[in-house]
Amino acid sequence: MTAYSPQQTAAISLVSPMLPFRAEILSVQPEAPLVSTYWMRFLDPELRTSYQFKPGQFNMLSIPGMGEAAISISSDSNDHQRVGHTVRFVGNVTNAISRLKAGDVIGVRGPFGTSWPLEDHHGKDIFIAAGGIGLPPLRPILYQVMAQRNNFGRVVVIYGARTPDDLQFTREYKAWEEAGIELIITVDRGDEKWTGLVGVVPLMFYRLRMDPRKSVVYTCGPEIMIRFVIFEALARRITPDQIYVSMERNMRCGLGLCGHCQLGPYFVCKDGPVFTYEQLQPYFNVEDL
């Protein structure tokens, strides 16, 4: 592959944002049944150093002949050696990704979309509520918090999965806790070995003490979970502009051109995926938006 200078790379992205860059898969880390993290690096060495993303943004991953899927970046934005995407195998493209192994090449277009505004929330208590495949877009935040823990008040992660086997990133929980992140892990259904919490994420959220004057909420996961987390946050008098939600819609272009991802007046690819509830409120409870 041609090696482009950072300036050329930026120019190519501007001219042809529909063209994917090629990245080599370095390793595949199984996380849960039908979920794996793909660690990759761009073939172009200059792109490796010039590529930057913010926590919450996503890439379009592509496989020739199969198509593209929007996948959040789940790795540390300060790690310029590799980029991680955590994929749940649900359909055409993601099932094709499930067949890739180390050494294979994948197309990457991005990064796209808005990010979690962590830098605006220094001094605040951060409450993160995630369900299932909603944790990967939030994991980059945890790397940032660990790197600058003193900039924040309490950092609480409530993470729920269907069963203990479905919990992702389990090998990292100890490091998160050692860095001063409060972890509340819950499952919908335990098994014979499970001694932890059982119950849905909004229920665990309901049990928390929080000071609405200095708290912000970041949430991502199934839409039903998001709705109840918002309900509980509002009940604690956290204002809609302090509740941040990452939304999923079908993606095609990722550039605000095709209209596939429309949500009310917004394009999720360009105006989101991270929105405040203040932005979404008028459209959130409307069917088929």
Ligand X SMILES: Cc1cc2nc3c(=O)[nH]c(=O)nc-3n(C[C@H](O)[C@H](O)[C@H](O)COP(=O)(O)OP(=O)(O)OC[C@H]3O[C@@H](n4cnc5c(N)ncnc54)[C@H](O)[C@@H]3O)c2cc1C
Residues contributing to the site for ligand FES (CB under 6 A) = 251-254, 256-261, 267, 269
Using the minimum distance from each CB to ligand FES, give the nearer residue, 202 or 254.
254
Q: Among ligand X, ligand FES, none, what does residue 94 contact (CB within 5–8 Å per kind)?
A: ligand X
Cα separation values, 151 from 88, 118, 120, 124, 140, Å: 33, 10, 11, 8, 16
Residue 70 Cβ vs ligand FES, minimum distance, rounded to whole Å: 8
Q: Among ligand FES, ligand X, none, what does residue 88 contact (CB within 5–8 Å per kind)?
A: ligand X
Token output for 276 = 């405040």
* Contact positions vs ligand X (CB under 6 A): 58, 69-72, 86-88, 90-94, 133, 136-137, 248-249, 251, 268, 273
Closest CA to 168 of 29, 27, 26: 29
How many CB atoms are closer than 10 A to CB 65? 6
Using the minimum distance from each CB to ligand FES, give the nearer residue, 48 or 249.
249
Residue 235 Cβ vs ligand X, minimum distance, rounded to whole Å: 27
Q: Are 108 and 21 in contact (CB under 8 A)?
A: yes
Residue 221 Cβ vs ligand FES, minimum distance, rounded to whole Å: 21
Residue 241 Cβ vs ligand X, minimum distance, rounded to whole Å: 21
Its sign, for the CA torsion 218, 74, 158, 98, is positive
- Based on its alpha-carbon atoms, the radius of gyration of the chain, rounded to whole angstroms, reads 19
Using the minimum distance from each CB to ligand X, give the nearer residue, 115 or 215.
115
